Amino acid sequence: MNNALLVATREFGENAKTKGFWIGLFLFPLILLVAVKVPRFLEDKAVPTRDFALVDLSGSFGSVIANGLRRYEVRKKQEAFFRYTQNHADSSKIPGGGEIDFEKLPADMFDPAKALERLEDQNPEVLDLLGTEAGWAATVEQAAQFLKEDRPAFEAPRPRFRRAELPAGLIAESDDADAIAEKLRPYLLGKSLENDAGGKVELFAAIVVPADIEKRVADGMLEELLAANEPRGGIQYWSANLADNDLRDLVQKSVNEDLRQRRFVSVGMDPAEVRRIQNATVPMASLNPKKAAGEEAVSAADVLRQWAPVGFVYLLWVAIFTVAQMLLSNTIEEKSNRIIEVLLSSVTPGELMMGKLLGIAMVGLTMIGAWILSFILVLKSQAGPEAEWAGRLFEVVQSSGLLPLFALYFILGYLTYSGLFLAIGSLCNTLKEAQNFMGPVMVIMMVPLFTMMFIPRDPNGTLATILSWIPLYTPFVMMNRAAADPPAFEFYGTLVLMICTTVVMLWLSGKIFRTGILRTGQPPKLLELLRWLRSS
């Protein structure tokens, strides 16, 4: 045993002193910080203002589209101001001290983007009011009483979309929608559009409204044109960028809403009354029968707790694969460099194998410990208005009991897969040879990743139950089912099976390791491996 510990210490030292090990430790918290900060930064700073051309031959939809764009920009400005008030709120001025109980927040907690979108659907006139100077001044004045005195000035987001003025003479009065589209095509393919003021813009999109669009809608011609595969019969949206459809969706929503309002008026219906009826909803409360009486309401933390194991499953997969791959690489490298022969002159194959397992296990536990610690510290430091999900996730990690389960399944999963990888390493002389064995192993290891998003939706279903009893998948699937409280029989039964499988896997790997570690030449065939396993 002393020799095994010496080997383990050597393995730990050899791996812990490498640059890659320390880079990995410090890179993980950096990645977490980037995950918190970068999405908002990219949304606010990296998305450019999109210039588009609008030609309305009907004479009735240009103002509708412009009004829809204006409301969209008002919403974006209000969202940005809401985040600004969150970041610079003075807790002493907020009733209750500004403390937030994440366990009591509703599952559909206030989201400014969704709330403003809902407001636009229910009462768009309010957005029109907020877009005026008086409305904006009132918004700032109401928020100022809850903000810090030394706060920085609010910076309004830049416009998401901007209408480009077309140069005089580009469009003739006799041009129809198709002719206009052809004239604008070069500018959509990279040619700069120069307006009358001498400025140049790069067109992101062009919107062309046919002159008879209302008649086509009223007569039902658009359905016929679409059925005949004639898409130019409706409003034409031209853009070479097929990934960003925000402008297209915005125009479509604005025009369709206006058309519906006109239809209501044409048949003698009051649009305001129709909107009131359409907005009538029945409140629906989400209740969890597992919770105590009087506390059945589903909170935001409950929803996050249900999905939190998915993140741990992915982290578990990465951790096990990383350290097992490290064990494989070290074994092959030492075998190819003849270091194994020197080591075996002082220790037995069993002691060498056990030492390698323990040494790499210590490396893995150090790495996982550093990851979890940095994960908790980053969540705690970033929890707040700007990243509410971080605060809720921190609360879940603290109270869910997932960390002990993660440590348990990491150890069992590591021992099972590392025994397999160690056996492969003892059979191969180069990494190229090992790749032939790793192909089937990787196919097996990918199954937990393919199913990790489905299992939380049906944690006690047939698929989850079957995979739980397959030892190679038990750590990942049972970790994924942790939030659903699987039956005690399945939890303890799969745990016992996993322990037994680990013992058997290490025993079989030990027999292969003892025979194959000094072997040179081509890796053995399957029948030869079976003879090794049958031998004493």
Residue 101 has pLDDT above 60, yes or no: no
Structure tokens at 130: 């907020």
For residue 307, the tally of other CB atoms under 10 A from its CB is: 15
Residue 180 has pLDDT above 80, yes or no: yes
**161, 150, 135, 34: which is closest to 81 by C-alpha?**
135
User: Is the CB of residue 532 less than 8 Å from the CB of residue 512?
Assistant: yes
* DSSP-based three-state secondary structure for 174: coil
Q: What is the pLDDT of residues 427-436, one digit of tens each?
A: 777 777 777 7
User: Is the CB of residue 78 less than 8 Å from the CB of residue 112?
Assistant: yes
Across all residues in the chain, what is the average pLDDT?
A: 76
* DSSP-based three-state secondary structure for 209: strand
Burial of 192 (0-12, 13-18, 19+ CB in 10 A): exposed
For residue 342, the tally of other CB atoms under 10 A from its CB is: 10
Q: Which residues have a Cβ under 8 Å from the Cβ of 300 and sit 6 or more positions away?
A: 102, 105, 106, 107, 109, 392
The H or E element that residue 207 is part of is strand 203-209
**305, 307, 317: which is closest to 454 by C-alpha?**
307
Q: How far is 74 from 111, CA to CA, in rounded Å?
A: 16
For residue 76, the tally of other CB atoms under 10 A from its CB is: 19
Residue 365 has pLDDT above 50, yes or no: yes
By DSSP bridging, strand 236-238 and strand 193-194 are: unpaired
Structure tokens at 355: 């030492």
Structure tokens at 90: 């003075």
- Per-residue pLDDT, 74: 85
Q: How far is 463 from 481, CA to CA, in rounded Å?
A: 12
Q: How far is 516 from 427, CA to CA, in rounded Å?
A: 5
Q: How far is 59 from 248, CA to CA, in rounded Å?
A: 19
Which of 471-474's residues contact partners 24+ apart within 8 Å by CB, and which partners? 471/416, 471/497, 471/498, 471/501, 471/502, 472/416, 472/417, 472/444, 472/445, 473/447, 473/448, 474/409, 474/412, 474/498
Which pLDDT band holds residue 102 (cuts at 50, 70, 90)?
Answer: very low
**497, 444, 447: which is closest to 469 by C-alpha?**
497
Q: Which residues have a Cβ under 8 Å from the Cβ of 372 and sit 6 or more positions away?
A: 403, 406
Which pLDDT band holds residue 496 (cuts at 50, 70, 90)?
Answer: very high
- Per-residue pLDDT, 187: 87
- Per-residue pLDDT, 111: 57
Give the burial string for 155-166 (b: 16+ CB within 10 Å, else e). eebeebbeebeb
For residue 42, the tally of other CB atoms under 10 A from its CB is: 10
- CA-derived radius of gyration, the chain: 32
Alpha-carbon torsion 462, 465, 467, 473, what sign? positive
Q: What is the pLDDT of residues 384-414, one digit of tens each?
A: 544 455 556 666 666 667 778 888 888 888 8
Q: What is the pLDDT of residues 37-70, one digit of tens each?
A: 676 666 666 678 889 999 888 888 888 898 888 8
- Per-residue pLDDT, 494: 92
Residue 288 has pLDDT above 60, yes or no: yes
Which pLDDT band holds residue 497 (cuts at 50, 70, 90)?
Answer: very high
Alpha helices (runs of H) in 345-456, residue ranges in sequence order: 349-382, 388-399, 402-427, 431-451
Q: What is the pLDDT of residues 254-272, one digit of tens each?
A: 888 888 887 777 778 877 7
Which pLDDT band holds residue 421 (cuts at 50, 70, 90)?
Answer: confident
Tokens 């008649």 -> residue: 215
Phi, psi of 387 (to 5 degrees): -140, 75
Q: How far is 92 from 82, CA to CA, in rounded Å?
A: 18
Q: How far is 429 from 448, CA to CA, in rounded Å?
A: 30
Give the burial string for 103-139 (b: 16+ CB within 10 Å, else e). eebeeeeeebeeebeebbeeebeebeebbeeebbeeb
Half-sphere exposure of 267 (CA within 13 A, CB side): 9
Q: How far is CA 472 from CA 110, 476, 526, in A?
A: 42, 9, 21
